[in-house]
Amino acid sequence: MPSARLPIIGHPLTRTPLEGVLRAALSEDGSGIEIERWERRPHLLAEALREVRAGADFTGAIVASPHKEKAPPLADALSEDARVSGAVNVFVRADERLRGHNTDADGVRAGLVSILPRVKGKWPRNAVVLGAGGGARAVVAVLIGSGFQHVAVLNRHLHRAEALVAHFSRTARHMELRARPWHDAIIEVELARAELLINASGIGADGGESPIPAGLLPSDRYVLDLVLNHPITPLMAAAQELGGTVANGQAAFLAACTETVRLLTGTAPQLETLRGALATELGLPEEAVAVVGD
């Protein structure tokens, strides 16, 4: 038996780079934590977390899609990022209690730092966010906390964007946060006034499709495409041709993994370990994997 168990809970539980990167970090640090794969439908999430809470051999749990937004009410306590975003991707167990965290938010912050001006006072104040899942919630939470004044959230299912905006109704009282339909004309209008575009929709992960037509992109925009498996996505390439500053999701992913391991073990992993593991998972040369500061 492992000295500590760490289930990844999701449905469907497909193989993702996260599992391989965490395995590499945890095998190096000597913590004895071993990852398990728990495929659980949404109605079985509470039961799975009760098992983790009750078992002294569990160090916590990783929460994967589609459970991130359903997990906060099942926690005994929440970090500030988890509370504000309304999403949990990591549980840490201590004294038969589960504290929920959202390390996706740490990743988003790192992603923004990788493309925006070094002086935070020069950051833009208007943004467009594509997507309305757990990752998009982390994005919006970080934008609110960073002083953005106008954020438009677009999703192909408008009701999901509306639910996201409703969740932030109190936190975002000082700003304009709107759910908008996913139509080319509306995207064009919103992008015309937004200096920053963040793709948290997952569209483009296969490398064959951009979430929005290149003709709708204005020039000189900041674009953070939270796609992992392509150094340059179609969206990034189109923005670059128009003088934009772009980044993929790799630096954000590695920052989130770093914080996840730190929470679970008490020690931050070596960045080069994570970078090498992600390169292996993606089938890329290590130097092709972006980190903050590249």
Residues annotated as catalytic are 68
- Residue 254 corresponds to which tokens in the numbers above? 């590695």
The residue type at 165? V
Q: How many whole angstroms separate alpha carbon 36 and alpha carbon 290?
A: 28
Provide the residue count of the chain: 294
Residue that the structure tokens 């038969």 belong to? 96
- Determine the angle formed by the axes of helices 158-167 and 134-145, rounding to 10 degrees: 40
> What does 93-133 look like in DSSP terms, one character per residue?
EETTEEEEE-HHHHHHHHHHHHHS-SSGGGS-SEEEEE--S
Question: What does the buried/exposed string (b/e) look like for 113-126 if buried means 16 or more CB atoms within 10 Å of the residue's CB?
Answer: bbebeeeeeebbeb
By DSSP bridging, strand 90-94 and strand 97-101 are: antiparallel
Contact of 129 with 136, CB cutoff 8 Å: yes
C-alpha distances in angstroms, 244 versus 151, 186, 196, 247, 262?
Answer: 19, 21, 10, 10, 34
Torsion of CA 79, 85, 90, 92, to 10 degrees: 20
Q: How many whole angstroms separate alpha carbon 101 and alpha carbon 96?
A: 16
